[in-house]
Chain A
Amino acid sequence: MMRPKATYVRPGTLTEAVDLLQDLDDRCKLLAGGTDVATELRSGAIRGRCLVDLSALPELKGIHEAEEELVIGSGVTLSEIASSAGVARGAPALAKAAAVFGSRQIRNMATIGGNICRASPAGDTLPPLYVQDAELELTSSSKTRRVSIRDFIQGPGRIDLKAGEILKCIRLKKAADFTMHRFDKIGNRKALAVSIVNLAGLVALSPDGIIQRIRLAWGSVAPTVVRSSRVEAFLTGKPLRMETLDQAYPLVQDAISPIDDARASAAYRRRVAVGLLFRLTTQQESPDSIMDIA
């Protein structure tokens, strides 16, 4: 039997794209930057599909900054995020994650929408989006809906994307009322490394060092990104010191459920998850980091 051959189509507008998706059956495969899709094509994980290239859609481009909100098109590249003044102001942890993502070449191609829809437990843009309670806007030919990132990502590679839908943009409330914006990633090396554990943290500190508000999101320690209201509640009102963070140790261990894989053991991930939390006590991040843009 002949294998079905792949086909390709590049719609020019969002309307054209969603109309096309309505007509195509589930054999279509969306692609934006193509960095994940290209490796899947090469390995044979996808074949004979209709490749729908979203890279020409103007509606998916651009970063718009309003007074309280940041709207990032799903087709915005990691390079664009890393160099955007709007993202540096409204979502500094995301800017930091983008700056250490893959390599220069990967950042020039890969999009934030692709990173979200790939739904890798190690996806580097995800923890920064979770701490800012990102909302995703999805469009199909019949309707547009909004869903929180926590509801959208259901498991490794599993997302709540209905047939015919495209992720249009990401909406973030600016994190202006936090004094610390952190993103830390541990990988096998600095460049081109999949995160073994990553952590995004937003902290509002009082002048005398008391945690007034804190949001933490760990990646690569569970099937999806972990935010723990118990850890956050425990730390609120306490001084940002090693002893306090150490007391949160059992709560963090409860919240995460890492696995052994080719990159690291579950036991190592458990230790690193807390190690990254301890880093919050170092006021300065490593020199190549972005922080305290306020």
Chain B
Amino acid sequence: MEPCRQVPVAFTINGRAVSLEVAADETALHVIRDRLLLKGTKEGCGIGECGACTIVVDGKAVNACLMLAAQLQGRNIMTVEGLIEKHELSVLQKAFLEDHAVQCGFCTPGMLMSSCALLKDKPRPDKGDIVDAISGNLCRCTGYQQVVGAIQDAARRLFGEKA
């Protein structure tokens, strides 16, 4: 491969295969929001500090604002739009709604992606695991308790009581 300004990339996003050309210094966040028009993923700070742009790449939560679009090559990406199951909100999303873990909602897609990665990795997280998993996600509204509670609820509903 030679250095190029326009980089061809092919990856899977929410189960759909896409291929397109991206600029060398374009971020993954820009491609997701402005090229693929998946606006669920938010841009807050743009420098890795707020977590609003969190996506799941090959099972791991990362900040889309810090990832180059060119680095999406060959990866399996999930954004908040991919959580929906057969036109219905997922258990995790329902728990967020029912437990009042959403107020203005700006942090919610990022919170959901961080907790989705956590639950895949650790189906029965303790409170410390949850706090650690969302420590890179800022929320100006809820005070976090409801978010932690919603993740605990979702874990319980999906995988049963903590062993």
Contact = CB atoms under 8 A, between A and B. Distances in A.
Interface in B69-84: 70-71, 73
Contacts of A106: 48, 63, 66, 136
Contacts of B101: none
Q: Which of A10, A105, A106, A108 has the most CB of B within 10 A?
A: A105
A241 interface: no
Interface stretch (B19-27, B85-93, B145-153): B19-27
Interface string A28-71: 00010011001101100001001111010000000000000000
Nearest to B114: A104
A123 to B, nearest CB: 16
Interface string B4-19: 1101000000000000
Given A8-B25, A8-B70, A35 B48 contact: yes
A8 B3 contact: yes
Contacts of B23: 5-6
Nearest to A36: B66
Contact of B66 (A8, A11, A34): A34
B161 interface: no
Given A8-B68, A190-B135, A39 B48 contact: yes
B3 A50 contact: yes
A104 B2 CA distance: 33
Interface in B105-161: 114, 117, 128, 132-137
A8 B65 CA distance: 17
A106 B136 CA distance: 8
A244 interface: no
A52 B25 CA distance: 11
| Chief secondary structure at chain A's binding surface | mixed
Contact of A34 (B49, B68, B135): B68
Contacts of A42: 46-47, 65
B66 A109 contact: yes
B45 to A, nearest CB: 10
A285 to B, nearest CB: 15
Contacts, number: 105
B70 A105 contact: no
A265 interface: no
Contact of A55 (B2, B47, B71, B137): B71
A103 B136 CA distance: 5
A8 B27 CA distance: 12
A34 B67 contact: yes
A109 B60 CA distance: 9
Contact of B73 (A10, A11, A190): A10
B133 A104 contact: yes
A139 interface: no
Contacts of A55: 71
B37 interface: no
27 contacts: A6-B5, A6-B25, A8-B7, A8-B24, A9-B4, A10-B1, A35-B48, A35-B63, A38-B47, A39-B66, A51-B25, A53-B68, A79-B60, A102-B136, A103-B48, A104-B61, A104-B114, A105-B51, A105-B54, A105-B62, A105-B136, A106-B63, A106-B66, A108-B61, A109-B62, A192-B136, A288-B128
Given A12-B1, A105-B51, 14 more contacts: A6-B23, A6-B24, A8-B25, A8-B68, A11-B1, A34-B66, A35-B63, A38-B48, A39-B66, A42-B65, A51-B24, A53-B68, A105-B54, A105-B62
5 smallest CB-CB distances across A and B, nearest first, come from A103-B136, A8-B24, A191-B135, A6-B25, A7-B3
